[in-house]
């Protein structure tokens, strides 16, 4: 029996090299360090604040929340407004009846120019070869699954199991990676 990680059933592509060309977008800013509050009133207050020329702003085209980072992306109609706001970085904005210091940073446009991947082995998958057909398919599959679930064999909970008698290959996918992956499997 052979312990094998790799091959099409147990490997995946992972990034090896990623090159990204990026440039500062001259019409957009990102606004962070925002208080937790209702999204619509927050967007409205930010749009009003940053549309005023006395705050270094200008006409706002779009104002949207990026909920996973609790950051607002604000788009101006004109190109030259974002630069001045970014240079100041920290701005005091009236939110929830008091002044809050928010942070204004550049909005970057990026394009992936080079992506190289490599195959990585899945530590939870085994490829077993050379298993003789000594009993009917279903019984043999059940016996092998029981064998690999027993802790005395270094096994664990089997999530999925496939026995393919034509190619004499069997795969077992475990629920979690073993704690000691250096231990050889018999």
pLDDT in tens, 27-55: 999 999 999 999 999 999 999 999 999 99
Please indicate, yes or no, if residue 135 is contained in any of the structural domains: yes
The mean pLDDT value for 120-132 works out to 72
Same domain, 106 and 47: yes
Domain hosting residue 69, numbered range: 20-113
Judge contact between 52 and 120, C-beta under 8 A: no
Please indicate, yes or no, if residue 4 is contained in any of the structural domains: no
Same domain, 169 and 150: yes
Same domain, 107 and 143: no
Please indicate, yes or no, if residue 15 is contained in any of the structural domains: no
Please indicate, yes or no, if residue 103 is contained in any of the structural domains: yes
Please indicate, yes or no, if residue 182 is contained in any of the structural domains: no
Please indicate, yes or no, if residue 68 is contained in any of the structural domains: yes
Please indicate, yes or no, if residue 87 is contained in any of the structural domains: yes
Same domain, 83 and 108: yes
CA distance 68 to 84: 27
Residue 31: predicted pLDDT: 98
Number of domains in the chain: 2
**Residue labelled with tokens 């940073």:** 105
Same domain, 133 and 107: no
Q: CATH number, domain at 24?
A: 3.30.70.330
Same domain, 73 and 155: no
Same domain, 40 and 98: yes
Residue 149: predicted pLDDT: 86
What is the percentage of the chain residues whose pLDDT exceeds 90? 47
Query: Of the segments 95-99, 116-120, 161-165, which one has the largest average pLDDT value?
Result: 95-99
**Residue labelled with tokens 């089997």:** 158
pLDDT band at 73 (very low <50, low <70, confident <90, very high): very high
CA distance 59 to 49: 11
Same domain, 129 and 103: no
pLDDT band at 72 (very low <50, low <70, confident <90, very high): very high
Judge contact between 46 and 38, C-beta under 8 A: no
CA distance 54 to 17: 45
Above 80 in pLDDT, residue 174?
no
Above 70 in pLDDT, residue 79?
yes
Higher model confidence: residue 166 or residue 28?
28
pTM: 0.55
Same domain, 72 and 91: yes
Same domain, 62 and 90: yes
Higher model confidence: residue 174 or residue 37?
37
Please indicate, yes or no, if residue 118 is contained in any of the structural domains: no
Burial class (CB in 10 A: 0-12, 13-18, 19+), 124: middle
Above 50 in pLDDT, residue 3?
no
């Amino acid at each position: 029996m052979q312990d094998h990680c790799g091959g099409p059933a147990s490997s995946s592509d992972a990034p090896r090299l990623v090159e990204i060309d990026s440039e500062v977008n001259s019409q957009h800013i990102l606004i962070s360090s925002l208080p937790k509050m209702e999204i619509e009133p927050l967007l409205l207050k930010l749009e009003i604040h940053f549309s005023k020329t006395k705050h270094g702003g200008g006409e706002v085209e779009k104002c949207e929340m990026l909920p996973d980072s609790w950051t607002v992306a604000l788009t101006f109609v004109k190109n030259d407004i974002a630069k001045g706001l970014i240079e100041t970085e920290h701005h005091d904005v009236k939110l929830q009846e008091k002044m809050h210091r928010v942070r204004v940073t550049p909005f970057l446009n990026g394009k992936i120019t080079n992506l190289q991947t490599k195959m990585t082995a899945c530590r939870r998958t085994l490829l077993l070869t050379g298993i003789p057909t000594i009993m009917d398919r279903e019984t043999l599959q059940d016996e092998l699954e029981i064998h690999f679930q027993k802790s005395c064999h270094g096994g664990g909970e089997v999530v999925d199991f496939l026995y393919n008698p034509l190619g004499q290959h069997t795969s077992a996918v475990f629920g979690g990676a073993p704690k000691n992956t250096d231990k050889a499997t018999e």
